[in-house]
Structure 1
Amino acid sequence: MAERLGVGLVGDGELRELLGLALRRNPKRAHLLVSNVLGKHVPQRPSVVYGAGVELGRRVRALLGEDGVRRAVVVGYAETATGLGHSVADGLGGAPYLHSTRRPVPGVARAGGFEEAHSHATSHLLLPEDPDLLAADGPGSALVLVDDEFSTGNTVLNTIRALHERYPRDHYVIVALVDMRSPADRGRLTEFAAEIGARVDLVARNTGTVTLPDGVLEKGQALVAQQEAAGDAPQDGPPHP
């Protein structure tokens, strides 16, 4: 990706240990950020995978305090952050956990949903067994949203907007292994929090940015076509949960 398309990762040494780049067969993005500690696409020791999430969960626990932890709910994003969300919930101290899905379940009512515009499968559903799981438990009760990486913030903003209309609350915490937003995207989150009148915190292990040259999407599509012709097409992720 760096040599053929000119895509770059800007950050410190740990960021480069946490992340790699892959070619993506997707008409909306040419690149995929691949985590080296998530345990989804790159083999990693279970202790490293679990420990990364638990560490983030402990940071959220310190942010919320004991009373906030008792009333928090954790939501992980399918498919990549389902396991990460579990370990964040464990680090938080056993908070209720739900991950999104792209598959409706007969007999289970939909409690909410949102769009992940850049994905190969955009629609997410939230299907808790308890229909009141996502309702706020009084002032200060936080909804903790867990994803592997925070690139533009669009998916998280879509999630909060959709849930805030149905289950309004005054505190949201976004958790990610890496925060790769641009300065403009960081400003959008601040403006959004003011718009809905809620506190929105971000907890990330590391920060950086992705540099994309002009024409990268077209160059990426051409490279995908070249690999497909050679019988070596990139894959865009595992089956949807």
Structure 2
Amino acid sequence: MTLSTSSVADRLGVHVRAAGPGADPAVLLGLALRRNPRRAQLLVSRVLGKHVPTDPRLVRAGGLLLGGLAADVLDGREPRALPVDLLHAAVRGEPGAAITLGLTAGASRSALDALVLGYAETATALGHTVAEALTADYLHSTRRPVPGIASAGGFSEEHSHATDHLLLPADPALLRGGRPLVLVDDELSTGRTVLNTITALHAVAPRERYVVATLVDARPAGSSLVAEVAALGARLDVVALCRAAVDLPDDVLARADAVRAGVAPEPPTPTRAPREPDSRVVLDLPDGLPDGGRHGFLAAHHAALDAALPALARSLGVRPGERTLVLGTEELMALPLRLAQTLADAGCTVLFSTTSRSPAVVVDEPGYALRTGITFPAHDDPADGPGPRFAYNLGGPGSFDHVVVVVDPPADTPALRAGLLPALAPLTRRTTLVITP
């Protein structure tokens, strides 16, 4: 059986339409089908760099634009006008549009000292970029417990394939105090995850202001999220690049089961001969500079990372003219994004994407959001046990000249060499494994 976007939408009865000012959801989003009994549809962002290899300058610019909207609402200004036509042009790949969009986005520091919280796994780089725009402290949730670092809280993401989130700041004081909290996610659907987060944090570290910054605000009409936060004694504002209405029939989960039943089942993860990368690089980060926001990334760290990036990018061995993919791994998105963006700014031909925990239906049909996919076993000894991992839309044999895979030390394992690296081998002429310190 083959599926197209229209057939998936028609059979599911799922339709996405614009619901307010901002970018057009038809440009920013594609539609795919999850392999998840709790939710049928997957809105696939074309600016996030998660499921679609994307120009890293576009991914970063989207986060900077979102940070600007957050700064406006924090400071009580009218939200700035988004460069919608330029954003649409960048998503469509028009020459020079992503570069111009990045220059237009810029930094947007708020007069208020805010803490930014990003959601694992999809919004860790987006949250980091919003924090960069605000020159703010940053923390993202994680699904990986770390020995020696106590949890400062947790919450659940009820519809997710992996539901439990932990907050593991190296300094628990990062979450304390009354400064505004900016929560960043790629998609705001029901608002339950945001409410779960605010409720959990407000019980231990109450504050007066919360802001949700999201690429797509797809809350249903009559959403009570703002009122429910107000009942806690706090104010909530929501800013978004795009406002969408997602029309779902009451029996959407049953419809999804029927559609999945007509698609070839998820194949078992193949057994592959272990493979070493063609080259291996251990990043020489400056002392004290974190590799991301899992345990906190402070306002002063943004400038330190900016200063270090040119040398870090040169160390990766990317050659001009090569078609290069920089591939982050699950929650490790922000540093790979900045490496890819730095290479693109230097004139290299680079796309950015990230592996995922989320199983979804892959169909090679024009217009469908997930055309290809690879499956491989987890390689970081996850606390919730072994399981498959995925990377989408990487194309077929020979799609890239060079793939740069970025992992942190817990993910630099024999399982990586028996899973992801051999799965990537047919897609590229050479592979570089980059390990954060």
Taking structure 2 as the reference length, the TM-score comes to 0.51
Q: 1:42 to 1:110 in 2, by over 3 A?
A: same
Q: How many residues align?
A: 234
- Structure 2 letter corresponding to 1:33: L
**Higher RCO structure (Cα 8 Å, ≥6 apart):** 1
* 3-state DSSP of counterpart to 1:183: coil
Deviation at 1:120, TM superposition (A): 1.0
How is 1:76-115 mapped onto 2 (pairs within 5 angstroms)? 76-92=118-134, 94-115=135-156
CA contact (8 A) 2:16 2:246 kept: yes
Q: Does 2:209 match 1:171?
A: yes
**Partner Cα distance (2:241, 2:266) in 1:** 38
Which residue number in structure 2 is paired with residue 142 of structure 1?
Answer: 180
Distance across 2 between alignment mates of 1:183 and 1:79: 27
CA contact (8 A) 1:22 1:33 kept: yes
In structure 1, give the amino acid aligned to 2:60.
Answer: Y
* 2:116 alignment partner, one of 52, 70, 74: 74
Q: Is the 8 A contact 1:53 1:87 kept in 2?
A: yes
Deviations 1:65-108 (A, max 9, x none): 4996552110000000001001111111x211111011111000
User: How far apart are the structure 1 equivalents of 2:265 and 2:161?
Assistant: 21
Higher helix proportion, which one? 1
Q: Give distance in 2, aligned partners of 1:39 and 1:229.
A: 26
**Counterpart selection for 1:189 from 188, 207, 225:** 225
Secondary structure of residue in 1 paired with 2:238? strand
Contact kept? 1:70, 1:95, Cα under 8 Å: no
> SS of the counterpart of 2:35?
coil
What is the identity, as a one-letter code, of the residue corresponding to 1:119?
A: S
C-alpha distance after superposition, 1:1-36 (max 9, x if no partner): 213322100117721111111100001111111101
Find the counterpart in structure 2 of residue 20 from structure 1. 30
Letter of the structure 1 residue corresponding to residue 114 of structure 2: A
Three-state SS of the structure 2 residue aligned to 1:71 is: coil
Q: Counterparts of 1:6-45 in structure 2 under 5 Å?
A: 6-11=13-18, 14-45=24-55
Task: Provide the alpha-carbon RMSD of the alignment.
Answer: 2.4
Q: Where do 5+ consecutive residues of structure 1 fail to align?
A: none
**CA contact 1:68–1:142 (8 Å) conserved in 2:** no
Deviations, residues 156-184 of structure 1 (Å, cap 9, x unaligned) = 00000000001111110100001101112
**Which structure is larger by alpha-carbon Rg, 1 or 2?**
2
CA contact (8 A) 2:123 2:185 kept: yes
Cα contact 1:69–1:95 (8 A) shared by 2: no
Q: Within 5 Å, give how 1:183-222 maps onto structure 2.
A: 183-185=221-223, 188-222=224-258
Percent identical residues: 53
- How far apart, CA to CA, are the structure 2 residues paired with 1:145 and 1:11? 23
Structure 2, unaligned runs of 5 or more: 1-7, 76-107, 269-357, 361-388, 392-410, 412-437
